Every structure is written in structure tokens, then in C-alpha cells.
Amino acid sequence: MAGVATVVVGGSRSPLGLALELAKIRITAMVSVTTAMGYVLFAGEVRPHLPAVVCGVLLLACGSAAFNHFQEREIDAKMTRTRRRPIPSGAVRPATALLYAAALITAGAGILAACATPTALVLGLVCLFWYNGVYTPLKRTTPFAVVPGSLIGALPPVIGWVAAGGSALDPRALALGAFFFIWQVPHFWLLLLVHGREYEKAGMPSLTSVLSTAQLSRLTFVWMATTALACLLLPLFGLVQHGWALAVLGLGSSWLVLASARLLSGSLRASLFRAAFFAINLYALLVILVLSVEGLLQ
């Protein structure tokens, strides 16, 4: 299967489906959601230009994702999980994907320049550069690329924060970014526990070739527990003030630690890793929802 965003018409993928797949819409949609959350947390309301800010960040992220498809087309062709992507499958020409990426990036940057603060635009462009210019090349040289690469997930809520008029150096914004930075590491390593051997076959450095499955599982558990701890520290920065929100985040964090504790068991299999992957994503959505409501109730 090529992904849930792909539309199939008459046995072939539609142009809309291919466009959404090149944009990695399931990932970039999350970027737009965390941007909106950061905005609302600072502003305490939904202002008229919030949709434009979110749209600009989304288009910039989609363009970055499409460019990543172009960059990794040869590696994608070597892996079962990715060989059906638009470029390696032959559904989209590399040059077409590159033009599509350029159009999305130009549109996204233009919207941010017109509707957001200069700092928000700069941070958006930093995300673009870091993903395509730093993280993507690093993946070819080190199995630990995800650690510096997690900066990409940390910046969108900060972009929303500064677009609403806040400072990027505000401790509250930094705490918010730190949570999403930490969250991204186990999110990726759980995928690695399922697909790591494919990375190795494609000639990519992978932690699965450095650590055993049991070792990587234990390390992932530590990062998942640290993610829960990072969330519980958010109230100390004034980002969570209502009792109901503290209770929900406390219960959610406890549940995440208990759910991830299964990674310490002796029975390690793909279904367990997929369940943990689902858990940490569900937890992130819970945190986003709680923080967004908190912002609107300020």
C-alpha cells in the first residue's frame, strides 16, 4: 500500500493522491496542528490571521517533504516500504516533484512573509534547511541522525508562538519545543524497530546494526518515559494551569509509561513496537488537545 493519502482511481493513483503523498500529508498535517497550538497558547484566542499562518507553515512543510522525496528517490527504490512512493514507482518524474516542491516552498514562505512575523518566517526557513540540508544528508552517515533531526519537530510550536507575537526565547516556548523534540526520538526509533533491517539493506546506517533489538527497545523505553516527564514539567512553566488539565496530562503520562514498559519484556515482536508507536502518537495528540484548550481558556 502506498499510504492512506493516496487516492486510487481505475487501478492507478490520482494526481491529488500523488500530490498529497509527495507532501507527506499525514506528517505535515501534524506540523500545522502543533503550529496552531503554539499560536493559541500565546494569544489565548483564535485571531483572524491564524489560518494564514498555519497554511504558510503547512505549505512550507509540504514543500520540504516533496523535496525530500526527490532527495531520497534512489534509497526509496531499494526498500519494500518505500518503493511504491511516487518517484521510485515511476508515477511522478523527479523533475516534476522538484518543481512541485519549489512551488509549495515559495507559496508557504510568501504567506508567512505577508501574514506572520519575520521571526516566524526565519524559523520556518530554518526548519526547511535543517530537514533537507542537515537531517537528510546525516541519515546517510550516522544512525543517530534523528537526535539533531528532532529539531524539526520542536520548531513548529515555537513558530506558532512567535507568529502570535511571542518571543522565541520565552522559557514557555522553549519548554514547548523541548517536549516535541524529545517526543520525536522514540517516535522514530519505534519505526526503526519495525523497519530497521530495510534501512540496512538499502545501505543506510541504522541503530539496528549497532544495537540489539532488546537494547534498542530499552533505550526507546527510556526516551518514552522522558517524553512523559517533559510533559509533566510543562505546568512549571505556566503552560498548564487548570486542575482538569493537570489531571488529564498526569493520567496520560502514567498510561504512556505503563504502555511503554512492555518494551522491557522478553517477548519483542513487531506488533509490540507498532502498539507502542500508536501509544506515543496518541499521547502527543492528547497533549496537543489539552494545551490548545488551555490556551483558549486563559
In one-letter notation, the amino acid at residue 119 is T
What pLDDT is stored for residue 6 in this prediction? 36
What pLDDT is stored for residue 3 in this prediction? 37
Q: Note the pTM of the prediction, 2 decimals.
A: 0.91
What pLDDT is stored for residue 12 in this prediction? 58
User: CA 144 to CA 126: how far, in whole Å?
Assistant: 20
Point out the residues of the chain with pLDDT beneath 50.
1-11
What pLDDT is stored for residue 5 in this prediction? 37
What's the CATH number for 15-167? 1.10.357.140
What pLDDT is stored for residue 270 in this prediction? 82
What pLDDT is stored for residue 211 in this prediction? 85
What pLDDT is stored for residue 2 in this prediction? 35
Longest Cα–Cα distance of the chain, Å, equals: 55
